[in-house]
Amino acid sequence: MRKPLVAGNWKMHKTLADARALIGSICEGGGSIEGVDVLVCPPAQLLFPMAKAVAGTSIMMGAQTAHEALEGAFTGEISVPMIKDTGCTHIIVGHSERRHVFGETGEQLAKKVSAVMEHGLTVVYCVGETIEQREAGQTNDVVQRQLSDAIHAGIPADRLLVAYEPVWAIGTGETATPEQAQNVHQFIRSKLAEIYDQPRSESIRLLYGGSVKPGNARDLMAQPDIDGALVGGACLVAEDFLAIIGAAASTSVTSV
């Protein structure tokens, strides 16, 4: 059985004081929730203080992106070794905002995935279609292409998570129905079985991201191929994030 994982992507939010208050509430409220892994991904400048704040807890730390080079004249960027030095265990790669706002290409994302893997961290690799692509019936084609850009049999399956994020549902308040999300997650797992094999594909956790809220989290994560959530706006409010974590834990207990 795959243990659920709930990740909070803070994006470009929170000053240090605000972040300390948020992480304190998450640590306090999440300490008694069992059966679910929790990952927090603050902005880069908050990684060191947040890592210190979660020390001694089960909460894991992740970065929102990384440059593919180990070092160099890349003003404003941060490398995988620098991120690893903060205590992070995960790095998000290919978030839709990195693809569509910053223009990251499949070739670039493949290099990022390789850099993360080479340094022993875990990739949270994001895929998802725009509303135009969904309406044109291209969802599976888009997702398959994004997977093939960067994921291959040489990538350790035990250090890979895949997050399906329909671009049309990110920050819009719109959410894929549980059935829509399950259909794409099932397709992703079938493609992972082709890349690896069936047993390894069954071991990879697949997350849903796209306006996940306390009100829809349980129904989404009750689907057989949805193993957790990559949460955006709702992770910035401790009460909401903890409710989503609790929803993930309840699906874990139910499915035992």
Under 8 Å between Cβ of 183 and 140: no
- Tally Cβ neighbours within 10 Å of residue 176: 24
Domains and CATH numbers, the chain: 66-229 (3.20.20.70)
φ/ψ of 62, rounded to 5, equals -140, 160
User: Using one digit for the tens of pLDDT, what is the confidence trace for 17-76?
Assistant: 999 999 999 999 977 789 999 999 999 999 999 999 999 999 999 999 999 999 999 999
What is the pLDDT at residue 256? 35
Q: How far apart are CA 133 and CA 23, in angstroms?
A: 37
- Exactly one of 97, 104, 165, 185 is catalytic; name it: 165
Taking CB atoms within 8 Å and a gap of at least 24, the contacts of 51-57 are 51/86, 51/87, 51/88, 53/20, 53/23, 53/24, 53/27, 54/23, 54/27, 57/27, 57/30, 57/31
d(CA 96, CA 174): 16
The residue assigned the tokens 């290919």 is 94
Instruction: Evaluate whether 205 touches 228 at the Cβ level (below 8 Å).
Output: yes
- CA quadruple 189, 60, 47, 152: dihedral sign: negative
Among 68, 95, 97, 129, the one annotated catalytic: 95
Per-residue pLDDT reduced to its tens digit, 171-224 = 777 888 999 999 999 999 999 999 999 999 999 999 999 999 999 999 999 999
Rg (CA), the chain: 17
Q: Is 95 considered catalytic here?
A: yes
Looking at residue 1, its pLDDT comes to: 80
